[in-house]
Amino acid sequence: MSVTEQQRDKLVERLFGAGLGMAEVLTVYLGDTLGLYRALRDHGAMTAPEPAKEAGILPRYAREWLEQQAAAGILTIDDASAAPDERRYQLPEGHVEPLLDPESPYSIAAFCKSFVAVAGVMPEVVAAFRSGGPVPWDSYSRDMVEAQGDFNRPWLVASFGTEYLPSIPDLHERLSNGAKVADVACGVGWAAISLARAYPNVTVDGYDLDEYSIEIARRNAAEAGVADRVTFEARDAADPTLKGAYDFATVIEAIHDLSQPVAVLGAIHEMLKPGGTLMVADERTEDAFTAPASETERLFYAYIVLCCLPSAMDDPSSAATAPSCARIRSSATRRRRGSTRSRSCRSSTTSSASTGSTASLLR
Ligand SMILES: C[S@@+](CC[C@H](N)C(=O)[O-])C[C@H]1O[C@@H](n2cnc3c(N)ncnc32)[C@H](O)[C@@H]1O
């Protein structure tokens, strides 16, 4: 077989597998959104009419979905030879956590949901590639906002306030004594909530452009019992009137989504008290473009092409820096014209600009 034929076969095989995976991701979204997995978890083995009734869907649809899920190995079946409506389907114990626990580090339902959100705006993405215009974040639908919230939720809820922040002793001390904190581009609020839970003397103000994110953030804060110390407001982080007296600010996984990251960093500088601290946590991309790249890097690139860059191209002067947070970091630091010192923070890197008010933490 020639090299060209080998390349051909390999590509076809690879994209066939990817397409099959994508198709199954869409069916996982159905089970998640319609509550079918929840019904199977709550009731154990079920015949097709039972989860259909529980989820309020047509039994014929339920039956086909259950068969597909069993064929895909996501559900198990007790007797494949039984009549269609008498087969009993079960969600295996090991599949419950990834599909139904959004705070688990193994949670995968949000990942599936994000691709459905992206697929829904592909015509707009194509048009944006042609026109050079944006696909605004809110065009990606509520699914993307919810998926984004659930992406970071496991580590923010489990360790941001209780492990990451305490690993920076001077910051930990300031937060323990009481501080005013801003969570910039806060999304659905998990960083702000985690921080407020870990430090009972802090108050946190979360800001995000997206109204739906703020609506969910307020609900999350109320459910977490911290709404008296954590507020959320739909606002542009570059708004210069946000000057204030913050001791600490965070920007979690958002710098690379901003159309004007340096302007926002400047505005945050104004929000901070002298000697205040900014923590930027973002995707740990490779420092330089590599090809072929690791799976993680390939995933980042796919999100960047399909979502981060289009949502950041909201005006012709957009900095459009989405591909590399490292490049944003060095650009922002250079603008401060100061020397930079770095120190290790467990698996992360923290660097502070000479003003002492800028630090970045790259996961
Ligand atoms: C990838 S999400 C991250 C959200 C959240 N920090 C998290 O960890 O889930 C990026 C967020 O940046 C917000 N955003 C983008 N530009 C903004 C701006 N200029 N001011 C405030 N928020 C902005 C978007 O609305 C979106 O919620």
pLDDT of residue 355: 26
pLDDT digits (tens, 9 = 90+) for 147-205: 999 999 999 999 999 999 999 999 999 999 999 999 999 999 999 999 999 999 999 99
Among all chains, which residue has been given the structure tokens 């068969």?
A: 67
Measure the CA–CA gap between 324 and 315, rounded to whole angstroms: 19
In sign, the C-alpha dihedral spanning 305, 306, 311, 314 is positive
Residue nearest to atom 10 of ligand 1 (CA): 254
Amino acid at 278: L
- Alpha-carbon distances of 131 from 124, 125, 127, 141, rounded to whole Å: 10, 10, 6, 21
Share of the chain above pLDDT 90, in %: 80
Neighbours of 235 (CB within 10 A): 16
Query: Could you tell me which of 193, 202, 147 has the C-alpha nearest to residue 172?
Result: 202
CATH number at 117-362: 3.40.50.150
pLDDT digits (tens, 9 = 90+) for 65-121: 999 999 999 999 999 999 999 999 999 999 999 999 999 999 999 999 999 999 999
- Alpha-carbon distances of 77 from 56, 73, 147, 246, rounded to whole Å: 22, 9, 29, 56
Q: b/e for 267-280, b at 16 or more Cβ within 10 A?
A: bbbebbeeebbbbb
Looking at the chain, the domain(s) classified CATH 1.10.10.10 span: 3-99
Cite the beta strand spans of 66-191 per DSSP E: 76-77, 89-90, 180-184
Amino acid at 299: L
- Cα of 123 from ligand 1 centre, angstroms: 23
Token pair of 74, please?
Answer: 């996501």
pLDDT digits (tens, 9 = 90+) for 248-274: 999 999 998 888 898 899 999 999 999
Q: For ligand 1, is residue 257 a contact (CB within 6 Å)?
A: yes
Q: For ligand 1, is residue 253 a contact (CB within 6 Å)?
A: yes
Query: Could you tell me which of 113, 53, 112, 94 has the C-alpha nearest to residue 63?
Result: 53
Higher model confidence: residue 306 or residue 326?
A: 306
Pocket test for ligand 1, best of 155, 184, 209, 309 (most atoms within 8 A of CB): 209
Higher model confidence: residue 299 or residue 353?
A: 299
Mean pLDDT of 297-304: 95
pLDDT of residue 244: 79
Q: For ligand 1, is residue 268 a contact (CB within 6 Å)?
A: no
Q: Is the pLDDT of residue 328 over 90?
A: no
Pocket test for ligand 1, best of 210, 256, 308, 311 (most atoms within 8 A of CB): 210
Looking at the chain, the domain(s) classified CATH 3.40.50.150 span: 117-362
CATH number at 3-99: 1.10.10.10
